Amino acid sequence: MSTLRLGDTAPDFTQDSTAGPIQFHSWAGDSWVVLFSHPADFTPVCTTELGKTAALSGEFAKRGVKPIAVSVDPLDKHAQWVADINDTQNTTVNFPILADADRTVATLYDMIHPNSLANATVRSVFIIDPKKVIRTTFTYPASTGRNFDEILRVIDSLQLTDSHKVATPANWRDGDDVVIIPSLQDPAEIAQRFPKGFKAVRPYLRLTPQPNR
Ligand code: BEZ
């Protein structure tokens, strides 16, 4: 296991899941993927996180993203827990939960941080693009549930900035103004790409309306 960095290829694996055995790259296909670990089944924060992911399934689908969860608990426990998540969170878990009892995935993705939490995965998130490249990672401790709106916000930024010569400023949300990347200096190209114009707060800080709106 070596540290995974942004731009690295997401390691492939085969593992059991609540949707049957999964060969990761083939399962991902041409979609974006959010691979996220949680410490254990039948724990309160994890229950709310998986419920929230299920509730946002339309938002993930709209962006061409498949969520997939992982913990080191076994498959039979996952199956019982899913019923509880659906009941308590008033939702339907419709994405796979990997049963990583042998720690194949946890080890490949360095999800066990023993000085923070012994013998279980912390709250890791890997946002992976359709070329299987790791584009974003976050790591949260067991005591802090993640903000799934933030995960969607980052995906919006990645998808926008992949297709336009822009970057997204602090606290940006889809629809807000964006910044023109500093390397773009040709006035003709700027005019063609950003017909709504731009405001140069400084020569290096140029704001423009979101170009795909
Ligand atoms: C939880 O998901 O609620 C949780 C899991 C491990 C440690 C603390 C909280």
Per residue in 111-135, pLDDT tens? 999 999 999 999 999 999 999 999 9
Is the model's pLDDT at 151 over the cut of 60?
yes
Query: pLDDT averaged over the chain?
Result: 97
38 Cα nearest atom in ligand 1: 2
Q: Band the pLDDT of 189: cuts 50, 70, 90.
A: very high
Element (H, E) at 207: strand 205-208
pLDDT value at residue 22:
98
Annotation says 46 is catalytic:
yes
Share of the chain above pLDDT 90, in %: 98
Indicate whether this model's pTM tops 0.95.
Answer: yes
For residue 40, give the ligand 1 atom closest to its CA.
5
Closest C-alpha to ligand 1, atom 7: 142
- Predicted confidence at residue 9, as pLDDT, reads 98
pLDDT at 15: 98
Q: What is the pLDDT of residues 64-107, one digit of tens each?
A: 999 999 999 999 999 999 999 999 999 999 999 999 999 999 99
Give me the mean pLDDT over the 147-166 stretch. 98
pLDDT digit string, tens, across residues 5-32: 999 999 999 999 999 999 999 999 999 9
Return phi, psi of residue 206, to 5°: -115, 115
What was the pLDDT predicted at 108?
A: 98
Domains of the chain (ranges, CATH numbers): 14-145 (3.40.30.10), 164-208 (3.30.1020.10)
Pocket lining: 122 vs ligand 1, CB cutoff 6 Å: no
The response to whether residue 46 sits with its C-beta less than 6 Å from ligand 1 reads yes
User: Which protein residue's CA is at the shortest distance from atom 1 of ligand 1?
Assistant: 45
Orientation angle between helical segments 44-55 and 75-89, nearest 10 degrees? 70
Cβ pair 179, 167 in contact under 8 A: yes
Give Dmax over CA atoms of the chain in angstroms: 61
pLDDT value, residue 2: 64
Which of the listed residues 37, 121, 143, 146 should we mutate to test ligand 1's pocket, taking the one with most ligand atoms within 8 A of CB? 143
Structure tokens at 123: 């709250």
Q: pLDDT category, 1, cuts 50, 70, 90? A: low
Amino acid at 18: T
